[in-house]
Amino acid sequence: MKYRYLRMLMALTLMFTWLSFRSDAVFAAGSCKNVTCEGLNPNTMGCPAVTSGSIKILPDGLSTVETRKSTSVNCDAKWARTYNWSGGSRYVAASLRYGCSNYCYNQSVTSPNTIPSGSQVYTPMHAYEATPTRSCGDVSISAIPIPIGISSTWCTGAN
Amino acid sequence: MQPKKNNLLFMLIAGLLIVTVMTSIGFYISRPQTMALASGNIAKQSLPNQVKPVDISAQQSPNKLSQTNNDVTIEITSAKIIDTGIEIGICYTAVDNGEWYPRPGHLFYSAYEVYPDEIEFTSETKADKNNLGRRCALIRYRIDDLQNVVTPIQFSITGLYAPQREMYSACQEFQQRLDTNPKANAYGLKAKCTEMGNGAVSIELVDHGKSVNNEKAKNTLNEIAKGDVVGTWEFTITDLTK
C-alpha cells in the first residue's frame, strides 16, 4: 500500500516535470529574447514580428523602409527592413537608429552588391521593443555608406 | 523498532515527493501562462480567425468609394487634409493570412503630381481558409503648399504584395498563405514546396479538387506563390475633410 503511494507520487513528479519542459520546447516563439537578440539576424531567429509605426516610402516613390518589432512576449527586439521596389537591381541599405536624444547609435546593413527588385535587407536586431527608434533606408545604383543619417527623406518617424 | 524506522523512512520519502510534485505542478502551471503569451502571435497567424466573412462591399455606405480587381476590393474610408499634406484611408481584401502591403500610386490634383510618403496600418482581420481577411491603412502624401490643393484628386493603388515574414522560411510562408487562402481551400489545392536558395521556391501542384481543372488549379497556385496582386485601383476623390 505504502509503495503504491510512493509510485504514484514519483509518476506525478515525472509527468509534470516532463510536461513543463515539453511546453517550453513546443511553444517558444523565437530563438532569442531581448539582450540575447542583440546583433542577431532577424531572418533566422523565428521571431513573430509586426511593423512598428509608419512605413516610409523612399524618394523613388516605390521602395520602403520600416521598423519591425517582435513584442516583449516574443523576442522583445526591433530591427529595420528596407525593400527594393525600384523595378531594377540596386544597392539597398538600412539603419535602425536609437539612443541619445538624436538616435546616435545604430544597427546597420548594406547589401555588398546590387539586389533585384522585390528583395529586402534587414539590420541586425536591437534589444527591447520599447526602445525609441527610427529606421532609415536607401536604395541606390551606387554603393551606400552606412549608417544612414537621420532625415525626414530617408527615415521613418519615431516609433 | 524496524517497523518504526520503516514508517519514518516512508514519511520522509513521501514528504520529499509531495514537495517535488507540488513544485512540478507549480512550475508546469507557470509555464503555459508565459508560453501562451509568447505564442500569441503565432496563434494569430496560424489559427483560423473566428471573425465572420469580410465583405467590404456589404459594409460600405453609398458615399464610400470602392473598386474590385482580381478578387481584391479596395475601399476609400477617409480623405483628409492634415498638417503635412493629404491622408487617405483605405481598407482592402487580404486574400490569405499574409502580411499584405498596399503599393500607393502618385496623387494628382490640378497640375500637381505627388509621390506617396508614408503608410500606416490601422487594423487587420486575418484571413482563414473559409474567410477573406481585411486590412486598413492610412496613406500619406507630403505637400508643402496646402493652399494649392484642390479637388478632384486622383488617387490609386497600383498593387498589393505580401513580403515574406521573418519568422518563416520561404516555403513556410507559402504554406501558411496556401492554408489560409479560401480560394485554395475551395479548389482543394495541395502543393509541394522546395527551397531553391536565395529565398526562391519551386512549387509543384500535388492535388486539386474536381471542381477545378488542372490549368486553373495551377494558375491559382502560381498567384498564391507570387504573393503579388496587380491592380490598378483608381479613385477620384471629390471631398476632402480638414
Which pLDDT tens digit goes with each residue over A4-49?
A: 666 776 666 666 555 544 444 334 478 999 999 999 999 999 999 9
Q: Is B219 helix (H, G, I), strand (E, B) or coil?
A: helix
Phi-psi region of B21 (alpha: psi -120 to 50; beta: other; left: phi over 0): alpha
Contact A19 B28 (CB under 8 A): yes
Contact A46 B118 (CB under 8 A): no
Give the pLDDT confidence score for residue A89 in this predicted structure: 97
Query: 3-state SS string over B10-73?
Result: HHHHHHHHHHHHHHHHHHHHHHHHHHHHHCHHHHHHHCCCCCCCCCHHHHCCCCCEEEEECCEE
Of residues B24, B118, B121, nearest to A56 (C-beta): B118
Which pLDDT tens digit goes with each residue over A52-66?
A: 999 999 999 999 999
Average the pLDDT over A63-80 and give the result: 97
Mean pLDDT of chain B: 83
Q: What is the DSSP letter of A112?
A: S
Contact A23 B28 (CB under 8 A): yes
Residue owning grid cell 471631398? B239
Contact list in A for residue B29 (CB cut-off 8 A) is none
CA distance B24 to chain A (A): 5
Q: Is B146 helix (H, G, I), strand (E, B) or coil?
A: helix
Q: Which three cell numbers stand for residue B48?
A: 483560423
Contact A17 B18 (CB under 8 A): no
Residue B205 CB burial class (10 angstroms; 0-12, 13-18, ≥19): middle
Residues written for chain B: 242
Rounded to the nearest 10 degrees, the angle between the axes of helix A2-27 and helix B2-38 is 20
Pick B26 or B202 by higher pLDDT: B202
Average the pLDDT over B199-226 and give the result: 93
Given CB atoms, is B144 within the 8 Å cutoff of chain A?
no
Q: Is the pLDDT of residue A116 over 80?
A: yes
Distance CA B219, CA B20 (A): 59
Of residues A10, A43, A59, nearest to B166 (C-beta): A43
Pick B91 or A8 by higher pLDDT: B91
Give the pLDDT confidence score for residue B200 in this predicted structure: 83
Q: What is the DSSP letter of B97?
A: S
Give the pLDDT confidence score for residue B127 in this predicted structure: 97
Distance CA A30, CA B98 (A): 19
CA distance B212 to chain A (A): 31
- Chains A, B: CB contacts within 8 A come to 112
Distance CA A105, CA B12 (A): 58
Average the pLDDT over B56-83 and give the result: 79
Contact B35 A9 (CB under 8 A): no
Give the pLDDT confidence score for residue A48 in this predicted structure: 96
Residue B223's nearest CA partner among B193, B183, B192 is: B183
Contact B106 A61 (CB under 8 A): yes
Of residues A24, A47, A57, nearest to B167 (C-beta): A47
Contact list in A for residue B21 (CB cut-off 8 A) is 9, 12-13, 16
Among the ranges given (A29-38, A147-156, B42-51), the one the predictor scored with the smallest mean pLDDT = B42-51
Distance CA B199, CA B209 (A): 29
Average the pLDDT over A124-149 and give the result: 97
Q: Is A87 helix (H, G, I), strand (E, B) or coil?
A: coil
Which pLDDT tens digit goes with each residue over B157-202?
A: 999 999 999 999 999 999 999 999 999 999 999 999 999 887 788 9
Contact list in A for residue B121 (CB cut-off 8 A) is 51
Distance CA A64, CA B117 (A): 9
Distance CA B31, CA A106 (A): 35
Q: Which residue of A has its CA nearest to B161?
A: A118
Q: What is the DSSP letter of A35?
A: G
Q: Whole-model pTM?
A: 0.77
Given CB atoms, is B22 within the 8 Å cutoff of chain A?
no
Give the pLDDT confidence score for residue A17 in this predicted structure: 53
Which pLDDT tens digit goes with each residue over A94-108?
A: 999 999 999 999 999
Of residues B21, B103, B116, nearest to A13 (C-beta): B21
Distance CA B226, CA B50 (A): 27
Mean pLDDT of chain A: 89
Given CB atoms, is B115 within the 8 Å cutoff of chain A?
yes
Which one of A40, A57, A120 makes the best mutation probe of the B interface by having the most chain B beta carbons within 10 Å? A57
Average the pLDDT over A117-139 and give the result: 97
Give the pLDDT confidence score for residue A151 in this predicted structure: 96
Task: Determine the Cα angle at A9 with ends A5 and A11, to 5°.
Answer: 115
- φ, ψ of residue B54 to 5 degrees: the values are -100, 105
Q: Is the pLDDT of residue B100 over 60?
A: yes
Contact list in B for residue A56 (CB cut-off 8 A) is 117-118
Instruction: State the complex-level ipTM.
Output: 0.82
Given CB atoms, is B206 within the 8 Å cutoff of chain A?
no
Pick B10 or A27 by higher pLDDT: B10
Q: Is the pLDDT of residue B99 over 70?
A: yes
Cβ atoms A94, A136 nearer than 8 A:
yes
Q: Which three cell numbers stand for residue B1?
A: 523498532
Cα→Cα distances B93→B55, B57, B109, B120, Å? 8, 10, 27, 16
* Residues A70, A72, A73, A77, CA torsion sign: positive
Contact B24 A13 (CB under 8 A): yes
Average the pLDDT over B92-100 and give the result: 97
Distance CA A118, CA A124 (A): 20
Which pLDDT tens digit goes with each residue over B199-210?
A: 788 999 999 999
